[in-house]
Chain A
Amino acid sequence: MSYTAEISRVNPSCFLFLVDQSGSMQDPFGSGEIIKKKADAVADTMNKLLQELVLKCAKSEGIRDYYHVGVIGYGTQVGPAFGGALAGRELVPISEVAESPARLDERTKKIDDGAGGFLEQKVKFPIWFDPIANGGTPMCQAFGRAQTILAAWLAQHADCFPPTVINVTDGESTDGDPTTIANSVKNLTSSDGAVLVFNVHLSSQKSVPVEFPDSDAALVDQYAKMLFGMSSVLPEHLRAAAAQEGYRVSDGTRGFAFNADLVSFIKFLNIGTRPSNLR
Chain B
Amino acid sequence: MARVQFHSHSFWQAKLNNSSDEYEDAFYADEDSSGATLIFRSAIADGATESSFAQQWAHLLVASYGSGELCYDDYAKRLPRLQQRWSRDITSRPLPWYAQEKLSRGAFAAFLGLTLSRSSPEAIDGSWESMAIGDCCMFQVRVNRLIHSWPYDRADQFGDRPLLLPSHPQFNLSVQDSVISGHGSWQLNDKFYLMTDALACWFLRAIGPTSFMTGALKRLSDISTANNFEAYVNNLRKSKQLKNDDTTLICIDVS
- Interface segment out of the listed B166-174, B204-212, B214-222: B166-174
Instruction: Kindly report which residue of chain A lies nearest to residue B79, judged by CB atoms.
Output: A114
Chain A 47-71: CB-based contact to B (< 8 A → 1; otherwise 0): 0000100111011110100000000
Interface: A98 (CB within 8 A): yes
Interface: B50 (CB within 8 A): yes
B138: min CB distance to chain A, Å: 19
Chain A 242-279: CB-based contact to B (< 8 A → 1; otherwise 0): 00100000000000000000000000001111111110
B-side contacts of A104, CB under 8 Å: 97
Chain B 166-209: CB-based contact to A (< 8 A → 1; otherwise 0): 10111111110000000000000000000001000000000000
Interface size, B (range): 35 or more
Cα A87 to Cα B52 in complex, Å, equals: 29
Find A58's partner among B52, B80, B172, B244 (CB 8 Å cutoff): B52
Instruction: Kindly report which residue of chain B lies nearest to residue A119, judged by CB atoms.
Output: B170
Task: Given A9-B17, A58-B102, A111-B170, decide whether A275 and B50 contact each other with a Cβ distance below 8 A.
Answer: yes
Find A275's partner among B100, B161, B173 (CB 8 Å cutoff): B161
Is the beta-carbon distance between A273 and B48 smaller than 8 angstroms? yes
Task: Given A113-B170, A275-B161, decide whether A126 and B53 contact each other with a Cβ distance below 8 A.
Answer: no
Mark out the residues of chain A between 85 and 135 whose CB falls within 8 Å of any chain B CB in the assembled complex.
98-99, 101, 104, 109, 111-115, 121, 123-124, 126
Interface: A27 (CB within 8 A): no
Task: Given A8-B17, A60-B56, decide whether A270 and B174 contact each other with a Cβ distance below 8 A.
Answer: no
B-side contacts of A56, CB under 8 Å: 50
Cα A212 to Cα B202 in complex, Å, equals: 35
Cα A61 to Cα B24 in complex, Å, equals: 12
Task: Given A123-B104, A275-B108, decide whether A244 and B98 contact each other with a Cβ distance below 8 A.
Answer: no
Interface: A10 (CB within 8 A): yes
Mark out the residues of chain B between 52 and 88 whose CB falls within 8 Å of any chain A CB in the assembled complex.
52-56, 80
Is the beta-carbon distance between B55 and A60 smaller than 8 angstroms? yes
Cα A270 to Cα B55 in complex, Å, equals: 19
Interface: A6 (CB within 8 A): yes
Cα A61 to Cα B53 in complex, Å, equals: 9
Interface: B101 (CB within 8 A): yes
Mark out the residues of chain A between 26 and 56 whose CB falls within 8 Å of any chain B CB in the assembled complex.
51, 54-56
Task: Given A270-B160, A273-B49, A277-B175, decide whether A6 and B99 contact each other with a Cβ distance below 8 A.
Answer: no
A-side contacts of B96, CB under 8 Å: 98-99
Task: Given A61-B22, A271-B50, decide whether A278 and B105 contact each other with a Cβ distance below 8 A.
Answer: yes
Interface residues of A (CB under 8 A from B): 6, 8-10, 51, 54-56, 58-61, 63, 98-99, 101, 104, 109, 111-115, 121, 123-124, 126, 244, 270-278
Interface residues of B (CB under 8 A from A): 17, 21-22, 46, 48-56, 80, 96-102, 104-105, 108, 160-164, 166, 168-175, 197, 244-245
Between A and B, 18 residue pairs with Cβ closer than 8 Å are A51-B101, A59-B22, A60-B55, A60-B56, A111-B170, A112-B169, A114-B170, A114-B172, A115-B169, A271-B50, A273-B46, A273-B164, A273-B197, A274-B49, A274-B50, A275-B163, A276-B163, A278-B105
The 10 closest A-B pairs by CB, nearest first: A272-B49, A114-B169, A112-B170, A275-B108, A124-B97, A276-B161, A275-B164, A277-B174, A58-B98, A273-B48
